[in-house]
Structure 1
Amino acid sequence: MALINCPKCGKQISDQGPICPGCMTPMAQLLSPKTSPQPPRTAEGMYTYCQENRLGSGISKSWDLKHLRLIAEAFAPNEQVLAVFIGFHNYISATQHDNIFAYAVTNKRFILAQKKLIGSIFQTISLENVNDVTLNTSFLKGIVTVDTIKETFNVKCADVKSAENIYHAVHAALERVKQKGSGVSGGDLTTQLTELKELLRAGLITQRDYESKKRQLLGL
């Protein structure tokens, strides 16, 4: 968990909360980087998307495309791509890592893939098994850590900005799936919470009623 300043109202908040208590904006909207609405499904499209939005890169374009093709070829017809990125897998140090992997978060799963000279690695993780995603940065590098029920792995990114973008993109993707599963879209939730806050400000409901209804909307 990290404390960040809300991009919308400036209030210091936890990045793990469902909304900003200051402006009532869902965290998925606040953490989502300014990228195109949805990553493409082709290897070439995903590679360009990563480059344009600083979502990591590998040793060379040709190898990045090989990793991404493993993912693209595995997409189901109705599978929606929510986030995609590239980085050093299981990074511990400059000499201890599993080299470059490509990653994707869809509405169904978390995908990891690496093409090798001989063979390949392809792994999927149910989104229900993802416990947490955290970000650690220093002056020269950024590392995104994904904690799941079975394992925890680090992804070392090309630079700090890329790590921040990847962290926000993954969080936004997971929150989007969570909201869709609850039957409340980000836009609908924002509208309802805003209207609720206006009722409180107008004195039409009590603070207790406001807190109770807010928790109900957020499924807490």
Structure 2
Amino acid sequence: MHKKHNAQRQHIIYSFDALLFQLFVLSYFMSPSLWSLLLRIVYQFQCTRPKDFESSRSLRFCFLGAIFFNASSVWHHARDGASEGRAIILDFVGMSFTPSKLQLLSLDFIIIFLQLVLANIAYEQHLCETEGEEDMLLPLQPPPSPITTEAIYSSPTDDPKCAAPPIPQSPYVLDLRLSSTMTRLRHPSPRRINADNMLPLPNSTSWPPLPLPASFQVLMRSTARVRRAGRMPGTLDVQAT
């Protein structure tokens, strides 16, 4: 992965994370539900941190988790609207009017959409940092213009003053494409097994794993010589007369 984009992408992830927590609190103030708030916080800590990902999880798992942890809030707001209960956190803060179902559902779907975007960015960042896979968030380079290409191939001399101008680099640090996201959802990244955690099986361990003692080596060599001589060890040579 391009290290020059690493710090900027981490800043984007932290900014999305802070924005989502603010939206969680806003949704809680509009319709107090401690259960929905806790579910969203649990998902936020599990699937939006690149360093906390497990290798067995896929992007499909993260997307389904975002829908599952927000399903109860969406169902409650679509059926009953704003909750009439008293808030537990900051009870003296409230609204002068009751929010409508449209406002609550719009906020819920905005939260789900931002969580999906953040989970996608965090997942790709995790694969680039730990699995060494292709960076799917890397912006596509713009194709060279015909004038630049013609100048490169038609330059008669190697004079630096006559050299063609460099191809401009993309100013973006990530490019979240729908095609790459659908590819991850249809074909999850294969799980890589660490060689240090594998069992010492014959097909994964060199033989012998440790050098044998000198006495065993002498015994094995003598046994091999006796076997080549054509007699069993411990028996006497009896010649027929």
The verdict on a shared fold, with TM-score over 0.5 as the criterion, is no
Q: If you compute each CA radius of gyration, which structure gives the higher value, 1 or 2?
A: 2
- Structure with more of its chain in strand, by fraction: 1
- Structure with more of its chain in helix, by fraction: 2
Q: TM-score by structure 1 length? A: 0.29
